[in-house]
Structure 1
Amino acid sequence: MAVSHIRGRGVSTNTAGRFEHFDTVPCDDGWDTEEDLPPLRTDIRDEVARSLITYNRSPDLPFDRSINPYRGCEHGCVYCFARPTHAYLGLSPGLDFETRLIARPNAAEILRKELASKSYRVAPIALGTNTDPYQPVEKTRSITRECLSVLQEFNHPIGIVTKGALVERDLDILTPMAEKGLVRVGISLTTLDANLSRRMEPRAPSPQRRLAVIRRLSKAGIPVRVMTSPVIPGLTDHELEHLLEAGREAGADAASWIMLRLPREVSELWQEWLGDHEPARAEKIMSKLREMHGGRDYDPRWGHRMRGEGEYAGLIAKRFKLAVKRLGLATKTHPLCCDQFARPTQIGDQLSLL
């Protein structure tokens, strides 16, 4: 029996991960009571990381390496493409993904070792590509801040993607890094409708709060990209130009977009959410998505998965291109600076005679 809504959570079910042999299903025990279930609280466990930098060879991504201080994300965005990764931990991509988090408290220590290695070759690191580095847990754990301090110590270029307003806390690190051309921040802005945002992204900052973050970062001299992602056909697609205009007015100098992606378990979770929250639009939304993916909910092919194909996908791409041109927003930005990278002197290092 699916629960129609759990306050403060993006999804309402917790189906076992695809690698599990057994599943638990809630059922009616016959007692007709009106008592509310207790709040579903977040559980945070620590993982001792053995490595931190993850490398990829995807032609769809503008970076080849990334770091993630946390596994799972309390923002609870129902559409999050990273949900299926929780199955590798023996957990559900559903409620577990947003309530059973993994923190990596030794992340900064491992990052320092990896950057200090003589075999390491510098290139921009992406932070927040899988789960948000500024989700609520960061307020007390500060693992992201510790990693930023290491990157600043090495003069290492970093690109950050977040919905979290907590990024403002780290202006004391980000501002001097920006002065050296070492940092760029992307703020994800899905909709300007606060009610819709609250239902889709229950623990993420409101759209207006995210615009305020763009404004504050840009005023501090930090280049910001407004990321209109994901574009959801039949639900948020009509807002595309308004999102770009709002981001530009707040100070963003660049923009990007990605179509809604429904890999693996995300498709089922998304369709459950549509049935609960947008039943009148569900058929149209799924029809448009399948139209862009050859009749499937999602096509994971490189060069296709981010945007889809066909008439509708082409229309969104054209609208985006015209809007960014009109607003003066860049789609390609100057590369982050890599030539300032330097390994700090460590205890036991051989000192130079010069």
Structure 2
Amino acid sequence: MKSSKPLPPIAGRGAPTNLRPTRTGSAERVPDGDWLDAAADVDGEAPRLRTTVTVEHPKTIITRNKSPDIGFDRSINPYRGCEHGCIYCFARPTHAFHDLSPGLDFESRLFAKPNAAALLRAELAKPNYQVAPLAIGTNTDGYQPIEREWGITRSIVEVLAETRHPLLITTKSDRLLRDIDLLADMARDNLVGVAISVTTLDPKVARTLEPRVPHPKRRLAAIRKLVDAGVPTQVNISPIIPAITDQEIEAIMGAAAEAGAIRASYILMRLPYEVAPLFRAWLDAHYPDRAAKVMHIVQDIRDGRDNDPNFFTRLKGRGIWPQLIRQRVKRAARAHGMDRSFPQLRSDLFRPPERDGQMELF
């Protein structure tokens, strides 16, 4: 039975609950007194939710897509799940395919792929491999907190730098500055482009929207350091959330321009199947005064639904509201000189790695 009382926020976490059924048909999770679901009236105060990491050993590491509205056809995800805990994350449903909740499980029960660099090296060494920019930061942030200990993303970037393979990085973290030596080296040959996501400049809003993401000022500082190192960097205002962050578009653009960003992009918030009820619960907990207004605008953008899964419109939406957003972004980009095209990455410098430790004779 659904409670009419909003679920209380969980400190340091984005999702307020795990109590959501998944598309796989598994049973809805209910409080049972375990370490994750302890109920106050049975066990006393629930213990603090800890992040766990399970080692995964995939057979391949490059994920390919044929989506016509995405500007790349291949990506690498060093991890599954993301400790950043962004409530709006469109990748949350991927945990459902592992019989885990897209809610708290997605941001606390993570998977790491320590053999990613070795798998990448093997795939790049195949005789029929065709070079094109490879993206990191699509379904999981490669620079989320656990990267500090695991270093999987850096090992991947090392292989790409060695083979002179083009790379696109999207992240919400300034942790990628640890790899600025590799990125600056690649940038000298026009092999890398970086997008830093800034959703809001308000730290109070950021703490609830994306609780384990570095402070907005740290992300802007990262833009400056990357640009100073010669790494082409853009700001990604993603996602824009109606009646929550949309009023900050011009301010974010101005701050990013001052930090040196060469370009700006944006995406309207998407609420795939399992994400919509989590976001609604988050609204009830943090913005009960405008929850109905937010969802009304969301549905107006999405043809009366919480989500539009169709290509092209899923990213841009329909109607007056998206048109106004597009005009505001374009106007601000022109005003700040951020309406330039991102540099075309080179693919002609690629040199395959050794195969099985042996150099090719011919």
SS of 1:273 mapped into structure 2: helix
Q: Distance in 1 between matches of 2:289 and 2:39?
A: 31
1:334 to partner: Cα distance: 2.2
State the match for 1:195 in structure 2. 204
- What does the per-residue CA deviation read over 1:121-171, in whole Å, with 9 as the maximum and x for residues that have no partner? 000001111110000000000000000000011100000000111100001
> Are 1:130 and 2:139 counterparts?
yes
Q: Give me the whole-angstrom Cα distance separating, in 1, the residues matched to 2:226 and 2:40.
A: 53
Contact residue 6 and residue 12 of structure 1 kept, 8 A? yes
Give distance in 1, aligned partners of 2:162 and 2:31.
50
Tell me the equivalent position of 2:278. Answer: 269
Q: Distance in 2 between matches of 1:30 and 1:83?
A: 24
Residue 257 of structure 1 is aligned with which of 261, 266, 271?
Answer: 266
CA distance in 1 between counterparts of 2:66 and 2:212 reads 32
Matched, 1:40 2:49: yes
2:16 aligned residue: 12
Query: How far apart in 1 are the matches of 2:266 and 2:124?
Result: 31
Matched, 1:23 2:28: yes
Give the partner amino acid of 1:4. Answer: P
Q: Which residue of 2 aligns with 1:118?
A: 127
1:331/1:236 CA distance change after superposition, 3 Å: farther
CA distance in 2, matches of 1:105, 1:9: 25
CA distance in 1 between counterparts of 2:251 and 2:270 reads: 22
Letter of the 1:11 counterpart: A
Quick one: which of 295, 301, 304 aligns to 2:304? 295
CA distance in 1, matches of 2:325, 2:343: 25
Q: What is the aligned partner in structure 1 of residue 220 from structure 2?
A: 211
Counterpart AA for 2:50 = R
Shift of 1:209: 1.0
The one of 82, 85, 88 aligned to 1:76: 85
Instruction: Specify the alignment match of 1:348 in structure 2.
Output: 358
Deviations 1:47-89 (A, max 9, x none): 1011111111111111111111000000000000000011111
Amino acid at match of 2:22: G
Q: Structure 1 residue 3: deviation in Å?
A: 4.1
Alignment of 1:258-337 (within 5 A): 258-330=267-339, 332-337=341-346
Question: 1:44 is paired with a residue of what secondary structure?
Answer: strand
State the shift of 1:5 in Å.
1.5
Q: Name the amino acid aligned to 1:348.
A: Q
Greater alpha carbon shift after TM alignment, 7-16 vs 183-192 = 7-16
Q: Shift of residue 245 of structure 1?
A: 0.7
Q: Which runs of 5+ in 1 are unaligned?
A: none
1:324-344 CA-partner distances (Å, limit 9, x unpaired)? 111111353221111101113
SS at match of 1:117: coil
Tell me the secondary structure at the aligned position of residue 317 of structure 1. helix
Distance (whole Å) between structure 2 residues aligned to residue 263 and residue 175 of structure 1: 36
Q: Which residue of 2 aligns with 1:173?
A: 182
1:146 aligns with 2:155: yes
Q: Which amino acid aligns with 1:176?
A: D
Q: Distance in 2 between matches of 1:181 and 1:169?
A: 20
Question: Is the contact made by 2:135 and 2:168 (CA closer than 8 Å) also made in structure 1?
Answer: yes
Contact 1:17–1:86 (Cα < 8 Å) also in 2: no
For these two proteins, the number of residue pairs brought into alignment is: 352
Q: 1:123 and 1:112 mapped to 2: Cα distance?
A: 15
Would the aligned equivalents of 1:75 and 1:135 in 2 still touch at CA under 8 Å?
yes
Query: Is contact 2:197–2:237 with CA below 8 Å preserved after alignment?
Result: yes
Aligned to 1:177, the other structure's residue is in SS state helix
Q: Deviation of residue 283 (structure 1)?
A: 0.9
